[in-house]
Structures are given as structure tokens and as C-alpha cells.
A and B are shown apart, each in its own frame.
Chain A
Amino acid sequence: MGRGGLYSLVAGFAFFGAFPFYWMIIATFKRDHDLFQPQNNPFMFNEPPTLDHLRLLLFDTHYLQYLWNTFCVGSAVVLITLLAAVPAAYSLARWAKGWGETMGIGIFLTYLVPPTILFIPLSRFAAALGLQESLWSLILIYPTFTIPFCTWLLMGFFKTIPKDIEEQAMIDGLSRLGAMVKVILPLGISGILTVVVFAFTLSMHEFIYALTFISVSVKKTVSIGVPTELVRGDVFQWGPLMAGALLASIPVAVIYTFFLDRFISGFTMGAVK
């Protein structure tokens, strides 16, 4: 494959990946008159761009509320995930011998009981606990997919920290728990940061649980608020709709990209030596 071939191949794939987002940018700033004219070139502005759609989205819809709800749920899920996954991962990485491997695979296999099977019984859980239409239902349920994944990811990070370091700390008078908290956690900070980012973005991406548990507009997260609320009757408000999708997508995509390599190393652990 020559240089030209390489560039056109990569450019083709980049176009395929990014075009829907380009399409969102155009619709966000395009006047309705221009947008709904089938003869106009859809790829560019035939009339001067406008901020009307953004204004409508930010001030006349619950969009900012969706972002805030998403942020609250994401933060709480991150906290729960860290509290459960950090100790579990450390324990698996350090002390687990035979059963650790099994446990790792067990965690991995939880992916095979997908939300599709769980959302019906969990909707009854939420009803029994009085958590219908409450963000707490999401906060309680999202750790079911963040904890297994983040434990698996962190286990890999902790395994790379040499055992000598905490043995030395223990000789210096720290207890085992003290060595973990004061010595290993600071060393594993990059792994922990990765987990923070992933627990947050995974909660932001989640769709079906939010769709099942939340139907009151002001309680929605951005993933379900944008597709279900920015429609008047049967008519999609394309401008604000695209603006809403774009504004929430780009920041999270940027942050996610920074951490992608670490995420993949966690994903493929075990398959590549």
C-alpha cells in the first residue's frame, strides 16, 4: 500500500466516523429556512449561520437540567465504583492465586447478563424501593456495569506495581492496610484516574435503564433527554436536537480519547501477553 493509498484509506474512515458530527454542526447553526429547503446544498450554509437553535436549546428546554442530572449521576457512580473496585482490584492483584483468576473471569462474565435481561426485574426493584422517577435508581444500578469493568482494569494497574515497594513500607513500620493506602494508591493514581473517567463516561452513555426508570422530563439524563424530549408532537426540532447532541458529545469524546489507550490495555489484558 503506497502513501497515497494509506492517506485515502485513513481519510475515508475518518470521514465515515466523523460525518454525523459534522452534520450536527451544520444543523446547529443553520437557519430553519435554509435547513428545510431540499434544493439547498445540505453540506454548507446557504444563508448566514444563526445562534437561534442554541438559544432555544439552552433557555427554552430542560437541556441544562439534563446535563446537571447527568453530572450528578456520573459523580455518584464514580464514588461508589471507586469504593468497591479499588479494594477489590488490589485484593485480586495481590493475594489471589488460584481463585483470583476464576474471579477475574467471573467479573468478565457479568457482561453476559446484559441490561436487556435485567431492566425488567430492576424496574420492580426500583418500584419496591420507591425510587421510580428518581436519579437514585440510576445511581444504584449503574455500578453494576462500572464495578466489574473497573475492577478488571485496576487489577492490571496494581499488578504492574512491584511487591517490594509495599514490603519495604511494611518493614518501615506501616501496616498492610497503611502500605496500601499511603504507598500503593498514590502510585496507582493514573489507574484510578482512568477508572474515574470511564465510570463517568459509561454512566453518561447509558440509555436503556434511564429510559426505563425515568419519564419525568426534568429528571432525565442527557442520553435520553435529547432523543425523547426535543420532539414536539411528531415533529423533530432538528436544529436544537443536533445542538444538544453535539454539545454533550464533543467534550466527553475529547476526554475519553485521552484515556483510550489505558482503557484498551485493560480490555485486552490476558489476551495479549
Chain B
Amino acid sequence: MQHMKQGGIRDQAGLLAKVMIAPAILYVVAMIGVPFFLALMYSLSDATTGDPNFRFVGLRNFGAALADPVFRLSMKNTFIFALVSQFLVILLSRLLATALMKEFRGKWLARFLIMLPWTAPIALGTIGWLWMLDSIFSPIDWVLRKVGLLGTMKALFGPMQNLYWLGQPFLAMASVIMVHVWRLLPLATVIQLAGLSSIPKDLLEAAEVDGASPLRRTFSITIPLTLPIISIAFLFGLVFTFTDVTVVYVLTRGGPVHMTQVLSTWTFFKGIEGGDLAQGAAISLFLFPVLAGVASLMLRMARKSEVV
């Protein structure tokens, strides 16, 4: 009797486990898996919003995308924006996290302010930047004019009254990168904080007693021990910047003349505003191999350092 009863409970648990997890899995498969498959189908068709019927056209959309100079520029920009901003984010977040490891007065306020770019909705934060980078009323330009770096014949940045942040190709790209850094720095910082606080204190103290310099301690203890978590921060940051539509859409809409266009905004403009579903799907799928590659690399790194 006793034996049977236990078996019954165990069976029940097995069944319950499956029943309870089923809704979540079904939801994700239905709303991520199926559309992903559909995106693959669309990319091989000639569907438009006007005529969404499926007709197989092979790899024509991918070929057309690759032949399009705007697509190639978007591809390049996507990589530049993601890599440059993540490089800066990892560097700055390490610096900031080291500072936040220490105790000081008013820390909660500093933390609240530092976190704002992440906690407030990104579309609204970017609107604030849009006004800061305004072609005439930018406060950055105002300060530069006041200190004499802008607006006179001999000024470093030239005699114009404004820099036209979002109107000049190089400055527009720098602006997009700046907003990405602004947005992702808080997330990377808290992740790095979690990593730094997981290092056993006695390990660092022991190294100090043994005469290891601060630099040596950083490179021999802190960096190796926090590498998995840095890679997590890097992975998330990369995925966020790589796939982000909001910053570019709100700030520049890809302008001036596509100079800040990225794959995700180009997908939107082609696929939704232009109504070319097939082209849009093909463009967006160029993101996938990179995302998959980055993910598998990061998972492997995280696993390897856990074993050590």
C-alpha cells in the first residue's frame, strides 16, 4: 500500500510538472516559434502588404538586399554602433561599478540618477536627447559657444553657430552611439557590481599581503573571476544595441540620408512603411546568424569559467 501511494504521488508530480509548464511553452512556441518560421517563409516569397499571398521566389530577396547600397550601409552601421557602444559601455561600467562598490553618503540618490536611463522608458529618454541635440537650441552648442570653441572665426569647431548634431553624418553617428551608451551603461554597471561583489574578499587581501600590485590584482584575480559576468553584460548589451529600433527611429529616422540607418530600422521602413513584407523579412534575418553566433560563444564562455 505504502509503496503504491508513493508511486502515485510521484506520477502525479511528473504529470503536474508537464501540465504546469505547458502554457508557457505553448505561448512562446506559438508567438515566437511560428512567427520566426513565417519570417523565413516570407523572406523566400514576394509577399507585400497589398498582396500577402505566398509565392516562392528562392533567395531573390536576399540577393536584392545585398545589392542595395542602403542595406550594406545599414549592415555596417549596425556593427559599428553595437561594437563601439559596447566597448565604451564595458569600460565605463567597470569604472563606475568599482566606484559604487565603495560606501559614501548620498549613494542611493547617485544610484537613482545613474539608473534613470535604464529605468525610464527608452523612447521617452531619447526624446530628451532629441531636444538636447536640437539643431539650434542644443545646450551643448550653447556651452561650446560660451567657452569660445564654436561660433567665431578662430574657434576650434568652426565659425558656425551650431554643430547640427543630427544633421552631420559623423556627429549623427556619434549621437546614436552616445545615446546607446547612455541607455545601457546602468544595466552593465549593475551586472558588473554583482560580479565584483561575488569575489571573495580574503582572496584579494591574501594577494595584497603577498605583495601583488593593484594592477596585478586586477588582471590576475578580478578580471578572470568576473569574466563570465562581463560576458553576460556584453551579450545583453550587444543584443540590445544590435536589434534596437527605438534610438535610431526617434533620434534620426536613419538620416541624414541613411547615414545612421541600421538593419532594424531599415526592416521597419522597408517592411512596414514600404509594405514590402518579403524584403523586410529578408533584411531582418541578416541579424540572426550574428545573434546566434554571439549567443553560443557567450554560453560556452560562461560554462567554461564555471568549470574552472
Contacts and interface: CB of A to CB of B under 8 A. Distances in A.
B32 interface: yes
Interface residues of B, number: 99
B245 A207 contact: yes
Nearest to A14: B113
Contacts, number: 283
Interface in A110-131: 110-125, 127
A34 to B, nearest CB: 11
A123 B281 CA distance: 12
Interface in B276-308: 277, 280-281, 284-285, 287-288, 291-292, 295, 299, 302, 306
A59 interface: no
A58 B225 CA distance: 52
A38 B141 CA distance: 10
B219 to A, nearest CB: 18
A129 to B, nearest CB: 12
Contact of B117 (A17, A96, A224, A226): A17
Interface in A191-207: 201, 204-205, 207
A137 B122 CA distance: 21
Nearest to B118: A256
Interface string A7-27: 101110111111111011001
Which size bracket describes the interface of A in this complex? 35 or more
Interface string A221-253: 011101100000000101001101110111011
B120 A21 contact: yes
A88 B96 contact: no
Nearest to B276: A120
Interface of A: 1, 3, 6-7, 9-11, 13-21, 23-24, 27, 35-36, 38, 41-43, 83-85, 87-88, 90-92, 94-96, 103, 105, 107, 109-125, 127, 140-141, 143-144, 147-148, 151, 176-177, 201, 204-205, 207-208, 211-212, 222-224, 226-227, 236, 238, 241-242, 244-246, 248-250, 252-254, 256-257, 260, 264-265, 267-268, 270-273
8 contacts: A13-B185, A23-B139, A116-B267, A117-B288, A144-B28, A205-B121, A205-B122, A207-B249
Interface of B: 9, 12-14, 16-21, 23-25, 27-28, 31-32, 34-36, 38-39, 42, 52, 92, 95-96, 99-100, 102, 104, 109-132, 134, 136-137, 139, 142, 161, 182, 185-186, 190-191, 193-195, 198, 228-229, 232, 236, 239, 243, 245-246, 249-250, 263-264, 267-268, 271-272, 277, 280-281, 284-285, 287-288, 291-292, 295, 299, 302, 306
Given A13-B96, A116-B264, A127-B52, 19 more contacts: A10-B99, A14-B110, A16-B185, A18-B113, A20-B132, A27-B131, A87-B23, A114-B291, A118-B39, A120-B280, A120-B284, A121-B34, A147-B28, A208-B264, A226-B127, A242-B128, A245-B125, A249-B121, A270-B302
